Amino acid sequence: MTTSGVIRAYARALFDLASASDAVDDADRSMKAVTETVQGSAELREVLVDDSVPGSKKREIIADLFSGADSPEAIAIAALVIERGSVRQLAEVYAAFSEIAEAERGIVVAEVITAVPITDSTRELLKDKLSAALGKPVSLRENIDDSILGGIRINVAGRVLDGTLLSQLDEMRAVLSRAPQGGEA
């Protein structure tokens, strides 16, 4: 199974477990808490990626840290992902879980990539415009990528809307490379 297939399998398993006990929102909160804690703590991350620390010990650390979490299922899946050496994939499992949960609720997830964080008013405008265009509620998953220089790229419903400065510069470069060369007038 490919890496993305494994990630989707973990996410689907968590969704199925959470759905069976009508606790999808609890699972979402718990997975978010684990993901943010692991990403936010360099010390914890170092321990969890250390190959000399047994997987069972890593599982125990996560179980102890999140013993009071809303969703034991989410903690178990997160611990399993970490125990199997996939700490770096934890955020991807959480994102895939959220996407599955939102799709089940009829919400479309749009990935929005910008060079700098977007303002609240821009966020609401994007959600409104995308919702109107798609005829469904939209949830934004925001990512910052300063390599795009400026503008915005939106991945939604299998389409890419690219209004980044990087893509515009690439387009200009292509046009200029096809232009006749010479200096005679």
Per-residue pLDDT of 125-146, as tens digits, reads 999 999 999 999 999 989 999 9
pLDDT at 157 over 70: yes
What is the CATH topology of the domain spanning 107-178? Glutaredoxin (3.40.30)
Q: What's the pLDDT score for residue 185?
A: 53
Count of residues for the chain?
185
pTM of the model: 0.70
Q: How many CB atoms lie within 10 A of CB 86?
A: 18
Tell me the CATH number of domain 3-102, given options 3.40.50.1820, 2.60.40.3080, 1.10.520.20, 1.10.10.10. Answer: 1.10.520.20
CA angle 46, 51, 55 (to 5 degrees): 95
Positions of CATH 1.10.520.20 in the chain: 3-102
Q: What's the pLDDT score for residue 31?
A: 95
Phi first, then psi, for residue 112 (nearest 5°) are: -115, 120
Nearest-angstrom CA–CA distance, 66 and 61: 9
Q: What's the pLDDT score for residue 2?
A: 77
Positions of CATH 3.40.30 in the chain: 107-178
Strand blocks (E) in 61-146:
108-114, 138-144
Mean pLDDT score, 151-165: 90
Q: For tokens 């200029």, what's the residue?
A: 176
Mean pLDDT score, 148-166: 90
Phi first, then psi, for residue 72 (nearest 5°) are: -60, -30
Nearest-angstrom CA–CA distance, 60 and 30: 16
CA angle 143, 147, 148 (to 5 degrees): 75
Tens digit of each residue's pLDDT (9 = 90 or more) over 83-113: 887 888 999 999 899 989 999 999 998 999 9
Nearest-angstrom CA–CA distance, 107 and 54: 39
Nearest-angstrom CA–CA distance, 153 and 135: 20
Nearest-angstrom CA–CA distance, 17 and 24: 9
